[in-house]
Amino acid sequence: MYDVLVEAPKVTNGNVTGYNVIWHPTRKFAVDMAGYAVNLNVILNSTAVFGTSCQRGKGSPETCFLDDLCLEREDIEPFGCEGEVIIT
């Protein structure tokens, strides 16, 4: 039915290089809202709003929120893994 049993970022040498997800894997931030944390200072020093009205990122509120925080993929700090993680 699905090609992915576990959705997760692809990590190479401690850097997120892509996402192993079913829904629109080419999104800038292909993450579920339960799968990430943001430093509270970053949020408090921004005007970012989390909601479903955003049309960027295939309509993904997570992508819009993280994008509105002026974050880039290089800003992601994966944890809980060492070296390379590619789930296929």
> Which positions are annotated as active-site residues?
62
Tell me which amino acid residue 41 is: N
Strand partners, 15: 12
Tell me which amino acid residue 34 is: A
Under 8 Å between Cβ of 28 and 73: yes
What is the 3 state secondary structure string of 8-21?
EEEEECCEEEEEEC
